[in-house]
Every structure is written in C-alpha cells, then in structure tokens.
C-alpha cells in the first residue's frame, strides 16, 4: 500500500495516464466554462478537475501529484474560490442588491453571455476541485498508530 | 416508465447485495452499481445536470472508498445488542412509512408539478439572466443564496476533515508531534 503511494503503479498505467490526464483536465475546464450554455456547471466541472489530479496521484504516486498541486496551492485555491464567489455576490450592491447580475447579459447561446453566472461557475469550480482533492489526499495518506510501528 | 421501474429494482438489489456481502471490495462495487443506476435514472427523468454531478461524485467516492479504507485494518464495532437495534430500526421504518403515506397523498401526481414560481422562471429566465441553461440560471441567479450556503457547507466540511485528520489533532496526552509533510 505505502509502496504504491510513493512510486505509483506499473509502466503501462503510467503511459496511459500521461496520455489521458490532460484530456480529463481539459474536459473539466470545458464543463465549467460552458456551464451556462449546456448541462454541467461549476460543481461537476470542479469534481472532474479534482479527478484528473486524483488520476495523476494514483498512477504516479504522491510526490509527482503534490509537486503539480502542492498543499499551499490547494489551500490558496480553496480559500480564493470562496472569497471570489462571495465578492461576486457583494459586488451586486453596486447596482442595488445582493447577487445582482450586474454585468451585461450579452447574446444568449454564446460563451460570453449571462453576466456573472460564468464567473460564479469558475469560482465554485476552484473551490470544489481544490477542496475535494485535499480531502482525497488527506484520507489516502492517513496513517493510524498501529500502522506506523510496522 | 417501465425502464424506470427496472432501474429501481436493480438499485434495490444492488443495495441489498452491498449490505450482505462479506468481502468489502464486492460491496464497494455494488454501491458503485447503485450510484450508476441512479445516474441513469436521472437521465431518464430528463435531468442531465444532476446526472452528470451524480456520476462524477460517485466515481470520486468510489476511489476514496477503495484507496482509503480497503486495505486498512479498520476497527469494527461488534456489539451483541442486535435485538434492541433491530427493534429500533423497525420502529423507525414504521414511523417513516406512516408519515410518508400521509404526506404522499397531498403531493401532485407524477409528471404534473405545480408550476407557480417555476413558470415565471421558465418564461423570463432567458431574458432576465441570458443563460440558455435554465439550471444554471436558477442556481446561480434566482436562487444564488442556496448556492452560497452550499459552498459554505463544503468549505466547512473540508476544514473539518483537515482539522480532525491532521497529525497534531490525533496525538495522545503528553505526546510531542512535529508536523511533517504528510
């Protein structure tokens, strides 16, 4: 168990992971950015982004994955997503009330439309992706007392 | 409608298998089958947003269950009070069934919802928010307070997990623990 955490899985898994992990990350970003046009949105896209890092960690071990997304970056993204979402809500006061959609709506069915909704999606995806990957890392690397002695 | 009932029966059988299996890996896989069935059921009910979220969260939960709990010697609590536990569970099931039968009488029929507020959202959502995905326009514009609360819940959950599981929180009395890069 601990050997797999350090060194990762076999060569076949590593090669396949090198080919697919970027595509999974891109698909997550696509789901986030098109959340107001097609099904998806910030939460699902954020979980897919977290899954791409989980994939990297399962195949290559914890060192490679934590080098790509260190602990400090995780806590930064997690807090920054929450603050960004709250500040988008608070910026609505410039026009009147909390959560006002204050940017111009644009043309429907376009990528740049719907005012603050894509910005909120990006904030939520940062929060969800960093937070769920942090939970995964902590739970997988958890060691109990009797395991440490061996 | 018949495919929905087939899926429901499949999910119930999967849940029973997940409970009754002696092998933990088999029961985790059965839980995954239940989640996949729920995702397909949501697709049949024409809710693709919820189906995508359900599928993705199910995959992450399965990975965490397999990697984080499977090969660890977790302590199992085996108490001998199975008679009391069974009686309490049966009592709660009876209460729940009674309340549910009372409550389900007043619900509108399946497929014919009461559209008081939702009617306005469907008519004016595209003009007011500019988002062509109505789910996004509801959860991030009309009902954004709910999403803020949900984001706060997730943030608190992450902080809680990190605070409980870190080394320094699990140390014994008079034990000095230096926090390494865990």
d(CA A98, CA A116): 12
CB atoms within 10 A of CB A109: 15
Let me know: does A42 contact A125? Beta carbons within 8 Å.
yes
Domains of chain B, by residue range, sit at 1-72, 112-172
Mean pLDDT of B83-111: 90
* pTM confidence score: 0.82
**Residues of A (53-92) whose Cβ lies below 8 Å from B:** 54, 58, 71, 78, 81-82, 85-86, 89
Q: Which pLDDT belongs to residue B182?
A: 46
A30-42 per-position pLDDT tens digit = 988 888 888 888 8
Q: Say yes or no: ipTM exceeds 0.90.
A: no
The answer to whether the Cβ–Cβ distance between B151 and A82 falls below 8 Å is yes
Q: Which pLDDT belongs to residue B34?
A: 93
If you measure CA to CA, which chain A residue comes closest to B130? A114
pLDDT at A135 over 80: yes
B9-50 per-position pLDDT tens digit = 999 999 999 888 877 888 888 999 999 999 999 999 888 889
Would you place residue B107 in the very low, low, confident or very high pLDDT band (cuts 50, 70, 90)? confident
Return the structure tokens found at A65. Answer: 């994955």
């Amino acid at each position: 168990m601990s050997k797999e955490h350090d060194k990762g899985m076999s060569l076949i898994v590593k090669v396949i992971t090198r080919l697919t992990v970027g595509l999974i990350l891109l698909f997550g970003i696509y789901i986030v950015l098109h959340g107001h046009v097609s099904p998806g949105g910030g939460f699902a896209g954020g979980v897919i982004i977290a899954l791409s890092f989980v994939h990297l960690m399962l195949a290559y071990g914890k060192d490679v994955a934590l080098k790509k997304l260190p602990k400090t970056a995780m806590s930064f993204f997690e807090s920054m997503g929450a603050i960004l979402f709250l500040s988008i809500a608070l910026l609505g006061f410039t026009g009147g009330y909390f959560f006002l959609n204050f940017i111009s709506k644009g043309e429907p069915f376009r990528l740049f439309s719907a005012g603050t909704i894509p910005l909120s999606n990006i904030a939520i995806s940062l929060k969800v992706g960093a937070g769920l990957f942090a939970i995964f890392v902590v739970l997988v690397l958890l060691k109990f007392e009797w395991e440490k002695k061996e | 409608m018949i495919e929905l009932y087939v899926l429901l029966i499949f999910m119930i059988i999967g849940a029973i298998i997940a409970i009754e299996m002696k092998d933990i890996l088999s029961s985790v896989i059965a839980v995954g089958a239940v989640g996949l069935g729920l995702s397909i059921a949501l697709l049949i009910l024409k809710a693709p947003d919820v189906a995508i979220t359900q599928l993705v969260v199910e995959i992450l939960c399965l990975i965490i269950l397999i990697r984080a709990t499977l090969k660890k010697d977790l302590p199992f609590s085996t108490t001998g009070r199975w008679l009391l536990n069974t009686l309490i569970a049966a009592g709660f099931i009876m209460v729940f069934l009674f309340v549910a039968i009372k409550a389900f009488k007043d619900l509108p029929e399946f497929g014919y919802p009461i559209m008081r507020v939702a009617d306005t959202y469907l008519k004016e959502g595209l003009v007011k928010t500019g988002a062509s995905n109505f789910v996004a326009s509801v959860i991030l514009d009309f009902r954004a307070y709910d999403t803020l609360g949900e984001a706060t819940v997730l943030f608190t959950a992450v902080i809680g997990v990190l605070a409980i599981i870190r080394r320094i929180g699990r140390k014994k009395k008079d034990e000095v623990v230096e926090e390494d890069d865990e």
